[in-house]
Structure 1
Amino acid sequence: MTMRIPVLLLVGCLCSVEWVQAQEKKSSKDLPPIPEIKLDRKEPVVYQKDIEPIFAEKCMYCHSGNVIEGKYDMSTYAGVMKGGKRGAVIIAGKSSESILYHFSSRQKKPIMPPKSEDPLTPEELALLKLWIDQGAKPPTGVREKAKIVLNFPPALVKPVRAVAVSPDKSIVATGRGNQIHLFDAKTGNFLKSLVDPNLKHPDGKPAAAAHMSLVESLEYAPDGKTLISGSFQEAILWDPATGAIRKRIDGFADRVVAIAFSDDSQRFVTGGGAPTEDGEIKIFKIDGTPEFEVKSGHSDTVFGVRFSPDGKMLATCGADKFVKVWSVPDAKLIKSFEGHTHHVMDVGWKADGKFLASAGADNAIKVWDFEKGEQARTINGHSKQVTRLMFVGKTPMFITASGDQQLKMWNVDNGGNVRNFGGSKDYLYAVSVSTDGSLVVSGGEEGITRLYNGTSGAIIKEMVPPADGKPEVKPDAKPEAKPMPKK
C-alpha cells in the first residue's frame, strides 16, 4: 500500500551545501554542537508524528517541491532515506554513522539548518537520533493532515522565485522573498513595491510585503491590465498601474508555483499542489471567478502550465514526470508525453502549436511533436535541473533557467544553442522575456534580478530594491554575444 505524506510549508530550511559553506566562511567563530540529551521514552518513535514535523519546520523549505537543494528531496519518507548528491544520509540503526545527524547536531560541517536559522532543539535532535537508532522506520497507518502554521520568512531569505516583463516592455516585476518590486524596464531603476496593507507582524506592525510566504509565481496578462502573483495557498490579482489589490483567491492546497494567461487575456490557469498528493490545476476567468478544474490531472505537484496559442488546449507538467495536454474548457485529456526521468519543471508551446518544450529536474530539455505525440529531440545543455522555460513570442526560440547558474536561448526546431546570458552566481529559479525578445530577465537564489539585452546578451542592470540597504550592483563583464539566427 502506497502512503502519501503531506508536507507542511513552514519557514526554516536546510539550505544548499554551497550557500551554507559560504555563510560559515563569513564567521571565524564556530557554533558549538547542540547538547545531546537522553529521552525518557518507552514507546517507539513514530515517523509521521515525531519526525516528519521536524523535517517540515526545519528542512523542507529547501528540500521539497520545486526547490530540491543538493538533490535531496525530503517531502517523502522514501526521499529522506534515498538521500541526495552525497548519497544516503541516514544509516538505519546507526545514528553515529548518519551524516544527517552529524549536520543537524552541528558536529560536522555544513551545519543544517544554517547559522541564520533556528537549529534543532536538543529534544528534536534526541528524537531524530532515537528514530535512526530504532531503525529509521517508515510511516505506518493513515493520519490526518497536521494543522499548517505559516510565519513570515526570515529576513535573509530573499530568493527571486518569479519575474515577469510587462507586455509593453515598460516594467519588470520581480517576486523577491515575500515581496513584489517593480522596475523600469529601460533603465532598471526601482519604481515601487506592491504591498498588501492587511499583512501585519505579530506585534501589529505593517509587514510591507505582498504575501506572508514567498512569491512563487508572477505573470502579466497579455493586455497588461492585470498582474497575478502566486504564493502559499493564495493568488492575488493586482492592478499594476495603481498597485491596488483587485482580488485575493484562496483555497489552494499548497503553493501556487505556476500561472499562465490565455492569449486573449480572458482567463488564467494556476498550477501547484502539495508534494506527493494530486496536483492542482485550476482555471479562472480574468476577474478571478473559478471556471473549471482539471481533477487528478497529475499525481504530484504541477510545476508548469501553459495555454496553447489558440487557447483551445492547456499543457501541464509536474513531479510525476509527465507532460499532458488537455482540452479547454471541458478538461479532457488529449495527449500525454513521457520521457523525463525526474520532475518536469515547466512546459511551453511553440507559436504554431506544432511543438512543445519541457524543462526537467533531470537536467534535460525535451521537445515534443504534438501531432505525432512523440519526442522529437532531447537537448542536454544544462548540468543541473532546468527550473523554468519560456518561448520568445512568435519565434522558434525559447529561454531556459537552470540551477547550474546558466541562462540560455535555444532554437526548438533544431535544438541549437542560440545565445547565453551570463553573470549569475547562484541557482536560477525564474526567467521572463518580452514578446519581441529584446528584453530578458532572470532571478535566483542571490536575490538579484538581472535585466539583459535579449539581442546581444549584455547585462543592462542587476536590480535590487533600495529598501534592501545594499549598494547598486555593478554588472559583470559583458558576455560574448552570438548573432540571432535567421528565421
Structure 2
Amino acid sequence: MRRLAALVFVLLVARSDAQDKKDDLYPPIPTVDLKRKEPVEYAKDIEPIFENKCMTCHAGGTLRGKYDMSTYEKVMKGGKRGAKVIVPGKADESFFFRACARLEQPMMPPKTDEPLNSQELSLIKLWIDQGAKAPTSVRVKERPVVNLPPVLVKPVRAVAVAPDGKSIAASRGNQVHLFELKTVPAAKKGDKDKTEWAYAASLFDPQLKTPDGKPAKAAHISLVESMAFSPDGKTLATGSFQELTLWDVAKGEPRQRVGGFVDRVCAIAYSADGKRFATGGGAPTEDGEIKVFDAGTAKLVAEIKAGHSDTVFGVAFSPDSKLLATGGADKFVKVFELPAEAGQPAKFVKSFEGHTHHVMGVGWTPDGKKLASCGADNFVKVWDYEKGEKIRDMQGHQKQVTALAFVGKTSQFVTGSGDASVRMWNADNGGNVRSFPGASDFVYAVSASPDGEVVVSGCEDGTVRVYNGKNGTLLKAALPPDADPKSGEKK
C-alpha cells in the first residue's frame, strides 16, 4: 500500500513538473505603461494590430470560435462567447485581453502563431479601459510606390512550359525570358545534329516607366510572381504587383495590361477550353482576391469576394472549366462554381481543411474526381472531391512546398520546395515517381509539358533548370545573356 501511495505521489509530482515546464513555454505577456496623453483610436492604433495578428483566423471565410473581427461592430459583438469578449472599461474582465495576454485559454493568437508583443497588448488594454470606443475616422491606407527591385534580387518565381513543349517562359526578378529548343549543327561531318535548350528572347514593355519617368526596360516594375500560357500557346499571362500583362508570344510584345489588383497577382491559370483565365492574390491578412476574366477581351467575368480570409496562392480550373479550386494562406482549399455568363455570382461549393500552414498550390486530376494541394506545412495532400475528404498525405519534402503543376491529362504532378528539391508524384497511389536534382537554393516554381517530356523549375539563385521529365536528368541550367557571373549569384 505504501509503495502504491509513493508511486501515485511520484506521478503527481512528475505531472505537475511537466505542466510547469509547459507553462514556462508560454508565459503571460506583460503590459507596459505607454505614458500616452491622447486617447487610443481604434482605426489608427487597434485595427492594424487586429489585421496583423487576428484576422487570419477571424475574418472572411475563416471564423474560429464564430468570431468575426473584420469590423468594429463585429469585434464588439463577439463570437460564441458573446459580448463578454470585450467589456468596455474593464480590460481585466475581458476574455479577449486575457486570452491575448496568455492569462486564459485558449490563447490568442494560438501557440503556433506569433503572439502580441507588450506594446500591442498594452494598446489593446488601454483601449478597452478607455471604453473600447468606436472609430472616429476611417483609416486610409497609403498606396505603396513601387520601384525597380535591387540589381541582385533576381529570383525565378514563375515558370511555364508552352503547350507544344518546345519553349519555356521564366521570370527573373522583374524580367521575363523565353527559352527554346534549338538545333545545334554537328561539330563533325557525319555526326547527327543535336537539340538543346537556349535563350531565345526577353519580353519588354516599351511603355513601362519607373515612378520617376525613366524607361524600365523590363516586363514589370516589381517582381514577376506568376505566369501561364494559354492552351493554344499564343498568349502568355504574367502577374506582378497590382497588375497583369497579356503578351503576344509570336510578336514578343504586350497585348494588354490589366490593373486594379489590390496586391500581388500570386497565381494565374487558364481554363482547358481557353475561354477564361483566373488569378489569385490579395494583401496579407486581408480577404484573398480571386478574379476570373474572359481570355479574349480580358474583361472581368466574376470576382469571388471573401472566398479566403488571406492571400490566395493557388488557382486551378476543373477539367470541364466549370469549377475553380483555390488555396490560400488561411490554410483552406476551396472550390467555387463559376457563372455561365459575366455579371452572375460564383457559388461556393465546398472546402477542404487539413493543411496547418499556407496552401501554396492546387490542381485537379484529369477526371475531376480528385484534387491535389501543397502547403507551407511541408505536405502534399490528395482529396476526394465528391466526398470532400482527404485521401492521403504525401511526404518527402523537408521544407515548405511552394508550387504544384499537373502533367497534362495524367494523374502525375510535379512539386517544388524550399528544400531545393523538385519531385514528381502520382495522385492515384501517392507514389513518388522520381526526383529532379540540381537546384542549389529555394525552389519557387515548377511546370511541365503536357506529354511529361519536359519539367522546369525556378529557383532563388536566378537559374531556370530544364529536366528530362521521363528520367529526371538535368538538361540545362538556363540563364539569359545578361546574367553576370561576377555578380556573386550562385550558378
Normalised TM-score (structure 2): 0.69
Secondary structure, aligned partner of 1:188: strand
**Match for residue 469 of structure 1?**
484
Q: What's the offset of the Cα at 1:188?
A: 2.2
Q: Is the 8 A contact 2:240 2:265 kept in 1?
A: yes
Residue 221 of structure 1 pairs with residue 236 of structure 2 = no
Distance 1:325 1:191, change over 3 A: same
Q: What's the offset of the Cα at 1:471?
A: 8.2
Distance 1:283 1:331, change over 3 A: same
Q: Specify the code of the residue in structure 2 equivalent to 1:221.
A: S
Residue 312 of structure 1 pairs with residue 308 of structure 2 = no
Distance 1:472 1:463 in 2: 16
**Match for residue 4 of structure 2?**
none
Q: What's the offset of the Cα at 1:147?
A: 2.5
Q: Is the 8 A contact 1:307 1:313 kept in 2?
A: yes
Distance 1:138 1:159 in 2: 43
Residue 418 of structure 1 pairs with residue 433 of structure 2 = yes
**Match for residue 252 of structure 1?**
261
Q: Specify the code of the residue in structure 1 equivalent to 2:206.
A: P
Residue-by-residue CA offset, 1:313-333 (whole Å, 9 max, x unaligned): 111111111111111225111
Secondary structure, aligned partner of 2:259: strand
Distance 1:426 1:46, change over 3 A: farther
Q: Specify the code of the residue in structure 2 equivalent to 1:225.
A: K
Secondary structure, aligned partner of 1:254: coil
Residue-by-residue CA offset, 1:255-290 (whole Å, 9 max, x unaligned): 100000011111100111111111111111112111
162, 165, 170: which one aligns with 1:169: 165
Q: Specify the code of the residue in structure 2 equivalent to 1:308.
A: S
Q: Is the 8 A contact 2:46 2:123 kept in 1?
A: no
Q: Is the 8 A contact 1:226 1:239 kept in 2?
A: yes
Q: Specify the code of the residue in structure 1 equivalent to 2:207.
A: N
**Match for residue 261 of structure 1?**
270
Q: What's the offset of the Cα at 1:221?
A: 0.5
Written as runs of structure 1 = structure 2, the 5 A alignment for 1:170-189 is 170-185=166-181, 187-189=196-198
**Match for residue 81 of structure 2?**
none
143, 146, 161: which one aligns with 1:147: 143
Written as runs of structure 1 = structure 2, the 5 A alignment for 1:303-382 is 303-329=313-339, 330-382=345-397
Q: What's the offset of the Cα at 1:205?
A: 4.0
Q: What's the offset of the Cα at 1:381?
A: 1.5
Distance 1:46 1:383, change over 3 A: farther
What runs of 5+ residues in structure 1 fail to find an aligned partner? 1-40, 54-77, 93-130, 477-487
Residue 194 of structure 1 pairs with residue 208 of structure 2 = no
Q: Is the 8 A contact 1:439 1:451 kept in 2?
A: yes
Residue 446 of structure 1 pairs with residue 461 of structure 2 = yes
**Match for residue 399 of structure 1?**
414
Q: What's the offset of the Cα at 1:390?
A: 0.8
Q: What's the offset of the Cα at 1:295?
A: 2.0
Q: Is the 8 A contact 1:159 1:176 kept in 2?
A: yes
Distance 1:423 1:222, change over 3 A: same
How many correspondences in the alignment? 372
Distance 1:147 1:351, change over 3 A: same
**Match for residue 73 of structure 1?**
none
**Match for residue 295 of structure 1?**
305
Secondary structure, aligned partner of 1:189: strand
Distance 1:275 1:464, change over 3 A: same
Distance 1:267 1:401 in 2: 26
Secondary structure, aligned partner of 1:455: coil
Residue-by-residue CA offset, 1:151-191 (whole Å, 9 max, x unaligned): 11111111100000111112110011011000114522111
Distance 1:83 1:469 in 2: 46
**Match for residue 88 of structure 2?**
none
Q: Specify the code of the residue in structure 2 equivalent to 1:375.
A: K
Distance 1:415 1:296, change over 3 A: same
What runs of 5+ residues in structure 2 fail to find an aligned partner? 1-35, 49-99, 101-107, 128-134, 183-195, 340-344
Q: Specify the code of the residue in structure 1 equivalent to 2:242.
A: Q
